[in-house]
Amino acid sequence: MPPEALPEAPPAALRLDIDRAALAENWRALDRLSGAARAGAAVKADAYGLGARRVAAVLREAGCGDFFVAHWREAADLLDVVEAGTISVLHGPLTGADSAFAIATGVKPVINSLEQTRRWLDAGGGRCDVMIDTGMNRLGIPLAAIGDEALRRLDIDVLLSHLCSAEEDVPLNARQLALWQQARRHLPHRRASLANSAGIALGPDYHGDLTRPGLSLYGGIQREAMRGSIGQVARPAVALLQTRTVSAGETLGYNATFTADRTMRVGTIALGYADGYLRCWSGKGAMLSAGRRLPVLGRVSMDLTIIDLGAAPDLAEGDWVDVDYALDAAAAASGLSPYELLTLLGRRFAR
């Protein structure tokens, strides 16, 4: 059968609801908390799994004018959503093809090394951002190299660095701030940026001209000062595939890790570790239905998870339940970071 004759695929049994109003309000709150600086947005990793095109469009309408991605293909995917000159590619120009793409489109590379500096200049150069390493020892030009004459030839829009531990009160924050300020004095640039989501809460000294929130846009609360300003954005939901009644003494799931101690009504949902709901949720996670908590029973498997329906006797096959996935509480329960919780959510979720 030719593709055009195929019927439309049925709806997915997994859904990731994105609260666009909460997303926009989170950006506005972070922009306000940034004081005199403007807030940009990290939309790398498909906007932390929520869908970069959708997220960038919402944030652009809210007033955001700077978007940060990691890979060049992520930038290409946004060219019809936001203006090319508002996109920065954090990994920088690894090849001549990267530089050619940036020059042709107006997307900005983030220069991370002297090698990338020379590659960009040899290609013709133009407006770019520069990452200075102030203690992460990951990407970025070492402070010892900022006197290199090639750096003076760059047309630097944003001079960046990245905080290692902004969610913690540690001396490293102040050391990084001092080194970033030193770099600002040595390299000509239009704007400077240091603070990520947590860094915004460290105060105006860390804000520069542009902040770069990521996780908090999507509902992550990294410092207590941000609580009350940040709302939940991502709400996974899943369909109930089957219900059954099990007797006391019966076991559930792989390796029989759960044994019923009474007659129980249980349900099987279309969610498993292939969807990013990892085995660490076994015996710890829960679904929600109209405020009722439905605990996970036994071991999470690849495509399926069993839940206790005792609190929701009305639920039947085909009904939907919400995954208990508020980021703070979910991180504490699972041992996963909020970053992992979002970016793990798989392609089978309809977004």
pLDDT in tens, 92-120: 999 999 999 999 999 999 999 999 999 99
Tokens of 82: 């936001």
The DSSP secondary-structure symbol of 69 reads E
State the catalytic residue, choosing from 44, 48, 273, 277: 44
The Cα-based distances of 178 to 148, 172, 182, 327 in angstroms read 20, 10, 6, 32
The phi-psi region of residue 256 (left if phi > 0; otherwise alpha if psi is between -120 and 50; otherwise beta) is left
Q: Is the pLDDT of residue 4 over 80?
A: no
pLDDT band, very low/low/confident/very high, at 13 (cuts 50, 70, 90): very high
123 band by pLDDT with thresholds 50, 70 and 90: very high
Q: Could you give the CA distance from residue 275 to residue 122 in angstroms, rounded to a whole number? A: 44
289-316 pLDDT, tens digit per residue, is: 999 999 999 999 999 999 999 999 999 9
**How far is the C-alpha of 67 from the C-alpha of 39, rounded, in Å?**
10
Q: What is the mean pLDDT of residues 230-256?
A: 97
pLDDT of residue 247: 98
Parallel, antiparallel, or unpaired: how do β-strands 264-269 and 234-246 relate?
A: antiparallel
pLDDT interval class at 5 (50, 70, 90): confident
Alpha-carbon distance of 81 to 120, in angstroms, equals 25
pLDDT tens readout for residues 141-193:
999 999 999 999 999 999 999 999 999 999 999 999 999 999 999 999 999 99
Q: List the Cα angle 46/330/216 in 5-degree steps.
A: 45
Percent of the chain at pLDDT above 90? 96
> What's the confidence (pLDDT) of residue 1?
61
Domains of the chain (ranges; CATH) run 20-226 (3.20.20.10), 234-343 (2.40.37.10)
Neighbour-count burial of 112, counting CB atoms closer than 10 A to its CB (0-12 exposed, 13-18 middle, 19+ buried): buried
* Pair of tokens at residue 47: 């906007």
Judge contact between 131 and 112, C-beta under 8 A: yes
Residue type (1 letter), 230: I
d(CA 80, CA 82): 6
Rounded mean pLDDT of 228-237? Answer: 96
CA distance 312 to 62: 39
Active site residue 44: yes
pLDDT at res. 186: 95
pLDDT exceeds 70 at position 235 = yes
pLDDT number for residue 214: 97
pLDDT (mean) for 317-339: 96
pLDDT tens-place string over residues 126-136: 999 999 999 99
350 DSSP assignment? B
CA-to-CA separations, 229 to 117, 165, 213, in angstroms, rounded: 39, 21, 13
- The single residue of 206, 218, 254, 339 carrying the catalytic annotation is 254
How far is C-alpha 332 from the geometric centre of its chain's CA atoms? 18
- Please state the φ and ψ torsions of residue 192, each to the nearest 5 degrees: -130, 150
Task: Check whether 9 has a pLDDT greater than 80.
Answer: yes
DSSP for residue 225:
G
pLDDT, one tens digit per residue, over 200-221 is: 999 999 999 999 999 999 999 9
CB atoms within 10 A of CB 3: 5
d(CA 141, CA 149): 13
Q: What is the DSSP string of 186-220?
A: HS--SEEE---HHHHTT-GGGTTTEE---GGGGT-
Helices (H), the chain: 20-33, 44-48, 52-62, 72-76, 96-105, 114-122, 149-152, 171-186, 197-200, 327-334, 338-343
Give the pLDDT score at 231. Answer: 96
